[in-house]
Amino acid sequence: MEETTKNEKRKSNLKHNQKNKNNYFIIGYKNLFFVNNNRKINCIFYYPTFLKKKNINKNHSLEINKYYKIMLVKDAPLYKNNTNLLISTSGTGGSLITNIWLYKDVIKNNYSILSVNREGNSFTSKDPIKYIEQWQYPIDISECLTKFLNKKFDNIKMSNYIKNISFIGFSVGGLTGLYLAGAQTKHKIKKVNSNTFMTTDFLEENIDNTIFDKVNYKPFYKNYKDIRINKFILMAPVRGLINTRIAEHSIDVFTDSFSLSNKKNKKIKENDKGFLFFENGLKDIKGENVLILTGDKDEIVNKELNSFYLHKNIKNSKLIKYKNCNHFCFLFQNTYMKNKSNYLEYIIGNKHSTNINRKKIQKTIIKDIITFLEK
Alpha-carbon distance 267 to 272, whole Å? 10
Alpha-carbon distance 256 to 266, whole Å? 19
Please state the rounded mean pLDDT for residues 318-344. 73
Each domain of the chain, given as residue ranges in start order, spans: 2-373
Q: What is the pLDDT of residues 242-265, one digit of tens each?
A: 443 333 322 222 233 333 333 333
User: What 3-state class would DSSP assign to 315?
Assistant: coil
**How do strand 111-116 and strand 152-153 relate by DSSP bridges?**
unpaired
List the beta strands (DSSP E) in 48-94.
62-65, 70-74, 83-89
Contact 99, 171 (CB under 8 A): no
pLDDT-derived band at 164, boundaries 50, 70, 90: very high
- What's the burial of 268, exposed, middle or buried (CB within 10 Å: 0-12/13-18/19+)? middle
Domain 2-373 bears CATH identifier 3.40.630.30: no
pLDDT over 60 at 121, yes or no: yes
**pLDDT more than 90, % of the chain:** 45
User: What 3-state class would DSSP assign to 358?
Assistant: helix
pLDDT-derived band at 270, boundaries 50, 70, 90: very low
pLDDT over 70 at 316, yes or no: yes
Q: What is the overall mean pLDDT for the chain? A: 79
pLDDT over 50 at 346, yes or no: no
pTM of the model: 0.84
